Chains A and B, each alone.
Chain A
Amino acid sequence: MNPQLAVGRLSHCFGGLKAVSEVSFEVGEGSITALIGPNGAGKTTLFNLISGTIPPQTGSIRLDGRELAGLPPYRIAELGVCRTFQTTRLFPRLTAIENVMVGRHARSRAGFLAGLLNLPYTWREERAIRQRAGELLEELGAGDCADEAAGSLGFRKQRLVEIARALAAEPRLLLLDEPAAGLNLHETGQLAGLIRRIRERGVTVLLVEHDMSLVMDISDRVVVLNYGRKLAEGTPAQVQSDPEVIRIYLGGDHA
């Protein structure tokens, strides 16, 4: 597999705290890679760095060889990296389908003037945006709530809409921040199927997740972070048998 995402010696400090320190890893094209580690290990910070929400202080982030570090988030989204958030961040007053339509933003072009004047070429574009958004909601099983305000949706539906919204931007790399948090066993099983289907669409997936059975079930590779540093990396089987990893997860006694 070719590396689609190559993170090289990435570091970021908040004040004196090294949230991410000299982290390097690669994500193969078309793979599912999981980032795991105890709370405060720097997983979400790493996501924020890759998606550009926080500009990295040092290090490089390359997507298909192209440097992303220092680009603003909207540019990174245009280049093909989209994300969901740990606590879903839908636009609460927009309907579910409108949320997904915002996801099409990077793949459509009607500008301010065209909008003000309601130019005819925007009509077709709007129709296409709405149709695509509707299809995605259907595909993810949230088609029934398309016209409901996103803020009033149930927790699980919000998750699905957020994933649909990220997929609407046609990312090459999808970042999922704890997609299973708050889901029950059955729903987590459905999520695993969904993530696999996303991969089959040709989207590379990088996820942060605490649910180890999900991680070990779907991941091709696992990267373990601890105190901002990369502790281990490998296949789920390799990582599971790594004594260091067992020690940080289960405590010293089990090593």
Chain B
Amino acid sequence: MRRYLPVLILAAVVIAVQLVVRAAGAVYYLTQATMAAYYCLVTVGLCLLMGYAGQISLGHAGFFAIGGYVSAFLTTLRLEAAAPASRFLSRLGVLAERQDLYENLLLGVSPWAALAAAVLATALVALVIGLPVIRLKGHYLAMATMGFGLIVFRVLLGTRFLGEADGIGGVPPLPLFGLEVSGGRAHRVESYYVAWALVLAALLLAVNLIHSRVGRALRSIHGGEEAANALGVNTTRYKLATFVLSAVFAGVAGVFLTHYNGGIGPSEAASMKSVRYVAIVAVGGMDNLWGTLIAGALLNFISLRGYLGSYDDAFFAGILILVMLFFPDGLLRPRWLKRGAP
């Protein structure tokens, strides 16, 4: 199964990075490497949509934020007053108890139930937005999805119970088979591995999809929608499904990063974030999952380390212009990367 070779290589690289960083005594790098993983998750989904199905979205930061905010809102709800009535829900795992710094008992929606709600909400919003919008082509689709992203940003910024400009803080860690996704130092290594395991899982799904009958249909839509439709491909449905799938990837990334950071703010929904995701997929070469992944990991890491200072957004916007002008097929597509991939 040659198509899975790159997945194994990536797994090896993930382990190697952790070992090298530990040997070098620079474990703090893992924090940015973990955050970069979640942004990579967004771009893997966007790569399916842009590179394979050939549809653009300039609103994926909106889906990321919806995932993160739903999860943050639910897990920070204070339900102690309803405690006696909610014992049943606790037993089902929908609600979870925890203690704050002062050992007061807090009762809120359990992170896993919140995750499920967040994924559902993201999928539902993507479906409702996508249904009319995915019929648009080219620039019109870009503008419509950008409009969606702007709306999400403004709504988050103006909504009292979502913390307005402050966002939501105090989000509890996400427990996972005895591990924990949280920003605490003690959980740095396991959070790093959980993040990249999630990216690997997403890549596996994406690799499977692009090698399947549906993946071929998606590439045919990219190559000529009218011809694809005339051959029996339900183009609208496939585009919509890919749109929703990529939105769910973004939503899941939003949920995990929110747990990792302990909160989320409206800047995650900013339209420049969406532009950044598109720039990364473009640098990676559009229909090139591995290129997108490498570009995403490196550029996000550089940005998260703060090397770009206040020029962060300018950097990504500049990259997008340069790639479109001089490398419309992307920078990262050497032969060995493309081999075995369609």
Cα distance A83–B229 in the bound complex, in angstroms: 11
Q: Report A174 CB to chain B, min CB distance, Å.
A: 12
With A73-B229, A169-B232 as known contacts, state yes or no: A89 contacts B224, CB within 8 Å. Answer: yes
- B233 at interface by CB-CB < 8 Å: yes
With A89-B224, A89-B226, A94-B220 as known contacts, state yes or no: A78 contacts B232, CB within 8 Å. Answer: yes
B223 touches A94 (CB 8 A): yes
B213 touches A74 (CB 8 A): no
With A111-B214, A115-B213 as known contacts, state yes or no: A105 contacts B219, CB within 8 Å. Answer: no
A112 touches B214 (CB 8 A): yes
B209 touches A105 (CB 8 A): no
- B50 at interface by CB-CB < 8 Å: no
List the one stretch of A37-45, A95-103, A190-198 in contact with chain B: A95-103
> Which B residue sits closest to A77, measured CB to CB?
B232
Chain A contact residues, CB within 8 Å of chain B: 51-53, 72-74, 77-78, 82-83, 85, 89-94, 98-99, 101-103, 105-108, 110-112, 114-118, 122, 125-126, 129, 165-166, 169
B226 touches A126 (CB 8 A): no
Which of chain A's residues have a CB closer than 8 A to the CB of B215? 115
- Given pairs A74-B231, A74-B232, A122-B213, 14 additional interface contacts (CB within 8 A): A73-B230, A74-B233, A82-B231, A85-B227, A94-B220, A102-B233, A103-B231, A105-B217, A108-B213, A110-B214, A115-B214, A125-B213, A126-B213, A166-B231
> Which B residue sits closest to A53, measured CB to CB?
B226
- B234 at interface by CB-CB < 8 Å: yes
Q: Is the interface of A mostly helix, strand, loop or mixed?
A: helix
- B159 at interface by CB-CB < 8 Å: no
Residue in A101, A112, A165, A166 whose Cβ sees the most chain B Cβ within 10 Å: A112
Which of chain B's residues have a CB closer than 8 A to the CB of A83? 230
- B205 at interface by CB-CB < 8 Å: yes
Which of chain A's residues have a CB closer than 8 A to the CB of B219? 91, 93-94, 98
Q: Report B45 CB to chain A, min CB distance, Å.
A: 12
- B11 at interface by CB-CB < 8 Å: no
Which of chain A's residues have a CB closer than 8 A to the CB of B241? 112
Cα distance A105–B228 in the bound complex, in angstroms: 9
> Which A residue sits closest to B205, measured CB to CB?
A116
B227 touches A94 (CB 8 A): no
Cα distance A126–B231 in the bound complex, in angstroms: 17
A92 touches B231 (CB 8 A): no
Residue in B220, B228, B233, B235 whose Cβ sees the most chain A Cβ within 10 Å: B220
> Which A residue sits closest to B3, measured CB to CB?
A118
With A94-B216, A102-B220, A110-B214 as known contacts, state yes or no: A115 contacts B208, CB within 8 Å. Answer: yes
8 sample A-B contacts, Cβ–Cβ < 8 Å, listed by A number: A73-B226, A89-B227, A94-B216, A94-B342, A98-B342, A101-B216, A102-B228, A118-B211
> Which B residue sits closest to A78, measured CB to CB?
B232
Which of chain A's residues have a CB closer than 8 A to the CB of B235? 74
Cα distance A103–B342 in the bound complex, in angstroms: 17
With A89-B227, A93-B223, A112-B241 as known contacts, state yes or no: A106 contacts B232, CB within 8 Å. Answer: yes
B209 touches A169 (CB 8 A): no
A74 touches B229 (CB 8 A): yes
With A85-B227, A91-B220, A94-B223 as known contacts, state yes or no: A114 contacts B232, CB within 8 Å. Answer: no
Q: Report A39 CB to chain B, min CB distance, Å.
A: 21
Q: Report B282 CB to chain A, min CB distance, Å.
A: 16
Q: Report A208 CB to chain B, min CB distance, Å.
A: 15
> Which B residue sits closest to A129, measured CB to CB?
B213
Choose among B211, B222, B226, B233 the residue that contacts A105 (Cβ–Cβ < 8 A).
B233
Which of chain B's residues have a CB closer than 8 A to the CB of A90? 223-224, 227
Q: Report B209 CB to chain A, min CB distance, Å.
A: 5
B216 touches A102 (CB 8 A): yes
Residue in A85, A114, A118, A122 whose Cβ sees the most chain B Cβ within 10 Å: A118
> Which A residue sits closest to B235, measured CB to CB?
A74
Cα distance A108–B220 in the bound complex, in angstroms: 16
B212 touches A126 (CB 8 A): yes
